[in-house]
Amino acid sequence: MENLWAQSLKRLERIVDMLGLDGGMFKYLSVPRKIQEVAVPVEMDSGKMDVFSGYRVIHSINRGPAKGGIRYHPQVDLDEIKALALLMSLKCAIANLPFGGAKGGVSVDPAKLSARELERLTRRYTFELIPTIGPEKDIPAPDVGTNAQVMAWIMDTYSIDKGYAVPGVVTGKPIALGGSQGREEATSRGCVYCILSALKILNYDKPCITVAVQGFGNVGSYAAMIMHDLGFRVVALSDVYGAIANPKGIDPHKVGQQVKKTGTLDRYPEAESIPRDSLFSVDCDILIPAALENQITGDNAPDIKAKIIAEGANAPTTQEADEILASKDVFIIPDILANSGGVTVSYFEWVQGNYAYFWSKRKVDITLREIMDKAFEEVYSIHKDKKVSMRDAAHQIAVGKIVEAVKLRGIYP
Ligand code: NAD
């Protein structure tokens, strides 16, 4: 399988072609603005030293400061971060946020580190990034393997270096440090709003609509809980250790309690344990991939029974799988639309921080819904008018907005 960066460039080239833009624009968009690769030495609790590789890629700042998460995962490498940074530029454009795109990561398994080791790793990595991050430059946020606590350490390290508190350097912070209400579940809530729009537009209605979710981390767990609370029936869930299914329904809140205690949903007593990767073939109406990239492939796409796929994860579907799913008439809500709720509430957090005036959860949710509904409508209408896939429609809109900014600003000098 081609790596994510190679896949992303192919898609970008196709979109640039579809929009009738010249090859120079493809070249412009395919070269990230700034790439940093840093060594992250950490003194482990044993007293021994270990060294990890860290990255931060700023893909674009044409529409505003760069914005994007930080991932801690053993598979992190430069190409993955470049691809995810490009996706962030597109995602911010789709949601019409005044940001460019960036992504960062450290190649590490955070589950194998103690809390103190994780803190030392985070602070050293942040220290290396101090010259290029900042509320007006590049604003990190959580992604796979990182959370509000990691954001608090980043904010503290940056602030101590500057000599004053700079909460706006990150989003996804704890509320006690200037975080936003609703940020933690924002990606999932935005994804659910897209699903509700899709069900309405497709006239998809039946007495019991069923859902399967891959991944039970930040995005997957909240997506499952919100869908359950709205009356959908969650029939299968998975995490990196295993999968569970029950056609009569699973209560994700109860699963969450087990995960808090044992670290996994595997062997949850009120559902059957099934092989992890058979989650995709479970009988359901809606599938939410919310783990990692390249999960839905040419091998498993033929077995998918869902009618709607809402991509909570970034790039979960390969090009080959996309074609198979299109031939089966599966309605795909693409990642840059479906999971843009997270960066949207990050934007609210940045705005609230700039004003030092904080919104109620209700206001966050209502404003998020307005933005998600508008973005969905825009993508759906291009999908219908131009007879292109939802993914191509989303990419066309996003690339179009970035190109407009590039042209208006011109090239200096
Ligand atoms: P997370 O680390 O909180 O959770 C990841 C989950 O995926 C874990 O439950 C893990 O066990 C599971 N997982 C890993 N490999 C798996 C596999 N092969 N099969 C089944 N489960 C597996 O990460 P997250 O923040 O929830 O992010 C998930 C995805 O959503 C990523 O693609 C991320 O880039 C994307 N995303 C996250 C946010 C955010 O705000 N956190 C925003 C937009 C997009």
Instruction: Output the domain CATH number for residue 247.
Output: 3.40.50.720
Residues of the chain predicted below pLDDT 70: none
Instruction: Give pLDDT, residue 208.
Output: 95
Verify whether residue 103 is a known catalytic residue: yes
Distance (Å, whole) CA 82 – CA 8: 9
Q: Are residues 192 and 328 in the same domain?
A: yes
CA distance readout (Å), 340 to 97, 172, 312, 369: 10, 14, 9, 11
361 falls within a domain = no
Provide the pLDDT for residue 1. 84
**Ligand 1, atom 22: nearest CA belongs to which residue?**
240
- In a shared domain, residues 141 and 64: yes
Domain housing 70? 30-174
- Quick check: CB of 185 below 6 Å from ligand 1? no
- Active-site residue (options: 67, 91, 103, 173): 103
Shortest CA distance to 390 belongs to which of 401, 404, 399, 378? 378
Q: By alpha-carbon position, which residue is closest to atom 37 of ligand 1?
A: 143
Looking at the structure, tell me whether residues 166 and 236 fall in a common domain.
Answer: no
Are 169 and 229 in a shared domain? no
Instruction: Report the distance separating Cα 307 and Cα 284, nearest Å.
Output: 8
Same domain, 141 and 232: no
* Burial readout 323-362 (b: 16 or more C-beta within 10 A, e: otherwise): ebbeeeebbbbbbbbbbbbbbbbbbbbbbbbeeeebbeee
Specify the ligand 1 atom closest to the Cα of 241.
11
Q: Which of 333, 362, 385 delimits the end of a domain?
A: 333
How many other CB atoms are found less than 10 A from the CB of residue 5? Answer: 20
Residues 89, 101 contacting (CB under 8 angstroms): yes
299-320 confidence digits (pLDDT tens):
999 999 999 999 999 999 999 9
Nearest-angstrom CA–CA distance, 142 and 217: 12
Residue at which a domain ends, from 333, 362, 387: 333
- Whether 80 lines ligand 1, by a CB cut-off of 6 Å, is no
Neighbours of 208 (CB within 10 A): 10
222 and 168 fall within a common domain: no
Q: Which atom of ligand 1 is nearest to the CA of 264?
A: 11
Nearest ligand 1 atom to the CA of 141 is: 40
Predicted local confidence at residue 348, as pLDDT? 98
- What confidence score (pLDDT) does residue 400 get? 98
Q: Whose CA is nearest to atom 13 of ligand 1?
A: 240
Residue nearest to atom 18 of ligand 1 (CA): 240
Ligand 1 mean position to 314 CA, how many Å?
Answer: 9
Q: Which amino acid would we find at residue 374? A: K
Q: Are residues 169 and 82 in the same domain?
A: yes
Beta strands in 29-76 (DSSP E): 34-43, 49-60, 66-72
Q: 197 and 273: one domain? A: yes
Ligand 1 pocket, 312 CB below 6 A? yes
Question: Does 163 lie in the same domain as 206?
Answer: no
**Percent of the chain surpassing pLDDT 90:** 99
CA 114 – CA 310 distance, rounded (Å): 34
Residue 219: name the closest of 109, 321, 134, 145 by CA: 145
Question: From the DSSP assignment, how many helices (H) and strands (E) are in the chain?
Answer: 13, 12
In a domain, 387, yes or no: no
Token duo for residue 238: 């998975």
Q: Both 289 and 192 in a single domain?
A: yes
Cβ of 350 less than 6 Å from ligand 1: no
pLDDT in tens, 92-107: 999 999 999 999 999 9
Which 3 state secondary structure label does DSSP give 37? strand
Residues 165 and 202 in one domain: no
Longest dimension (CA), the chain: 65
Single pTM value for the model = 0.97
In a domain, 382, yes or no: no
> What's the rounded Cα separation, in Å, for the pair 190 and 193?
5
One domain, residues 41 and 100: yes
Instruction: Evaluate: CB of 291 within 6 angstroms of ligand 1.
Output: yes
* Rounded Cα gap, residues 122 and 40, in angstroms: 9
Q: Which residue, judged by its Cα, is nearest atom 39 of ligand 1?
A: 143
